[in-house]
Amino acid sequence: KAGVTQTPRYLIKTRGQQVTLSCSPISGHRSVSWYQQTPGQGLQFLFEYFSETQRNKGNFPGRFSGRQFSNSRSEMNVSTLELGDSALYLCASCRGGEDGGNIQYFGAGTRLSVL
Partner 1 sequence: AQSVTQLGSHVSVSEGALVLLRCNYSSSVPPYLFWYVQYPNQGLQLLLKYTTGATLVKGINGFEAEFKKSETSFHLTKPSAHMSDAAEYFCAVSPNQAGTALIFGKGTTLSVSS
Sheet containing 19-24: give its strands across: 5-7, 19-24, 74-78, 64-68
The DSSP code for 85 is: G
Distance CA 112, CA 21 (A): 9
Check residue 66 for interaction with partner 1 (CB under 8 A): no
Check residue 48 for interaction with partner 1 (CB under 8 A): yes
Closest distance to partner 1 from the beta carbon of 8 (Å): 14
**Beta-sheet pairing, 10-13 with 110-114:** parallel
Check residue 85 for interaction with partner 1 (CB under 8 A): no
- 4-43 residues in contact with partner 1 (CB under 8 A) are 4, 31, 33, 35, 42-43
Using the rule CB under 8 A, which residue among 19, 50, 66, 78 binds partner 1?
50
Q: What residues are paired with 87 via a beta bridge?
A: 112
Distance CA 11, CA 53 (A): 27
Q: Which is nearer to partner 1, 17 or 38 (CB)?
A: 38
Contact footprint for partner 1 (CB under 8 A) = 4, 31, 33, 35, 42-45, 48, 50, 55-56, 58, 90, 92, 94, 96-109
